[in-house]
């Protein structure tokens, strides 16, 4: 293999224009996540981020190592600041959902969210970090080029055709995909440092943490089931970081990943994390596949190849009646 072949392949991978369906749908789904996240923040605003809350601004700054972006430092330490930043975050989240001045909305949401995270790091979980990272990368994607107010505005001003399908360089989307894979590969590597995942007992320990348990399931008392769930979790997570790049395996791996996260969501209470990762899977879906599904649905041929032939269907009905 020649060096030029590798460089050309990398150039195509990062910069060859492709439809933007996946990032547009990812933006919409992330907008929903951001609104739910906002509601959760608003419900505990005074307790976690208020002037008289559990953590003062002065104490929070003492735990900061080096520079941390924090809009709270730019305002007087008084009541109303947290509410103001939360309302700005809400405006940004709605803008992300609707694709209204998309990049500006993403920037507003990112910087206000980052400020809340740096104001009180003690109430964060993994979903907060993933949201923040994905939101940062989403800023550089053409997320507002489709299914958005921005596109509607361009069509109304006759700057683009309503029938046109925008194609953009996917380099920022590729970075999101790489981030997605790194999350799962790093997770598996971290889990394999200890003996619990290797010997198949990790799920047993996790399902005995009362503060996280949502629904106690008697089936989780069976060690055979525990071992199966423990090892299958490792296999699925490793596949989400590796095999998901192979087109023939991709959607089966993503389907298994959705099943994994829904299973965790049913049995354990880990705010938003499972839904953030499920939404993040949209970055691995090919835009051309989404385009094909939409066109097939529009023509009414989406399930055509799965339907029974008419003659066979009539025979089946006749046999049932007989």
pLDDT > 50? residue 124: yes
pLDDT > 60? residue 312: no
pLDDT per residue over 23-76, tens digit each? Answer: 999 999 999 999 999 999 999 999 999 999 999 988 888 887 778 899 999 999
> For position 269, what pLDDT does the model report?
87
Instruction: Say what percent of the chain tops pLDDT 70.
Output: 93
Residue 183 near residue 37 (C-beta atoms within 8 A): no
CA distance 258 to 285: 13
pLDDT > 80? residue 301: no
> For position 316, what pLDDT does the model report?
46
Rounded to the nearest integer, the mean pLDDT of the chain is 91
Residue 100, CB half-sphere, CA atoms under 13 Å: how many? 9
> For position 321, what pLDDT does the model report?
57
Partnered with residue 268 across adjacent β-strands are 213
Question: Exposure string (b/e) for 25-38, b if CB count within 10 Å is 16 or more?
Answer: bbbbbbbebbbebb
pLDDT > 70? residue 313: no
Q: Which of 129, 140, 70 is nearest to 102 (CA)?
A: 140
> For position 212, what pLDDT does the model report?
85
pLDDT > 90? residue 2: no
Residue 40 near residue 89 (C-beta atoms within 8 A): no
> For position 304, what pLDDT does the model report?
64
Residue 27 near residue 144 (C-beta atoms within 8 A): yes
> For position 53, what pLDDT does the model report?
92
> For position 215, what pLDDT does the model report?
79
Q: What is the average per-residue pLDDT within 195-217?
A: 89
Q: What is the average per-residue pLDDT within 144-154?
A: 96
pLDDT per residue over 82-113, tens digit each? Answer: 999 999 999 999 999 999 999 999 999 999 99
pLDDT > 90? residue 242: yes
Residue 164 backbone class (left: φ over 0; alpha: ψ -120 to 50; beta: rest): beta
Q: Higher pLDDT residue, 2 or 23?
A: 23
CA distance 58 to 56: 5
> For position 72, what pLDDT does the model report?
93
pLDDT > 50? residue 257: yes
Q: Where are the beta strands (DSSP E) in 141-264?
A: 167-168
Helix, strand and coil in the chain, % to nearest 5? 70, 0, 25
Cβ-based burial of 104 (10 A; exposed 0-12, middle 13-18, buried ≥19): middle
Question: For residue 308, what pLDDT band results from cuts at 50, 70 and 90?
Answer: very low
């Amino acid at each position: 293999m020649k060096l030029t072949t590798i460089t050309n392949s990398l150039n195509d991978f990062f910069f060859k224009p492709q439809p933007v369906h996946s990032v547009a749908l990812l933006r919409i789904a992330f907008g929903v996540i951001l609104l739910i996240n906002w509601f959760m923040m608003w419900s505990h605003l005074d307790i976690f981020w208020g002037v008289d809350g559990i953590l003062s601004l002065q104490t929070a700054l003492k735990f900061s190592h080096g520079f941390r972006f924090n809009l709270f430092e730019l305002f007087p330490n008084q009541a109303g600041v947290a509410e103001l930043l939360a309302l700005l975050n809400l405006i940004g989240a709605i803008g992300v959902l609707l694709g209204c001045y998309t990049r500006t909305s993403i920037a507003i949401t990112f910087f206000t969210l980052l400020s809340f995270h740096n104001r009180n790091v003690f109430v964060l979980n993994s979903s907060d970090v993933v949201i923040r990272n994905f939101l940062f990368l989403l800023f550089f994607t053409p997320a507002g080029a489709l299914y958005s107010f921005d596109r509607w505005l361009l069509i109304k001003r006759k700057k683009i055709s309503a029938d046109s399908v925008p194609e953009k360089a996917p380099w920022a989307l590729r970075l999101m995909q790489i981030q997605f894979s790194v999350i799962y590969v790093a997770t598996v590597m971290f889990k394999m440092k200890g003996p619990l995942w290797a010997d198949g007992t990790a799920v047993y320990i996790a399902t005995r943490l009362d503060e996280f348990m949502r629904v106690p399931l008697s089936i989780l008392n069976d060690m055979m089931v525990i071992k199966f769930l423990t090892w299958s979790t490792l296999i699925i997570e490793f596949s989400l970081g590796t095999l998901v790049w192979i087109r023939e395996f991709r959607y089966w791996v993503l389907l298994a990943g959705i099943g994994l996260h829904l299973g965790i969501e049913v049995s354990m209470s880990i705010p938003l994390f499972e839904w953030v990762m499920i939404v993040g899977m949209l970055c691995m879906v090919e835009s051309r596949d989404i385009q094909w599904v939409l066109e097939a649905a529009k023509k009414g041929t989406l399930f055509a190849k799965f339907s029974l032939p008419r003659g066979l269907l009539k025979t089946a009905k006749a046999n049932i009646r007989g």
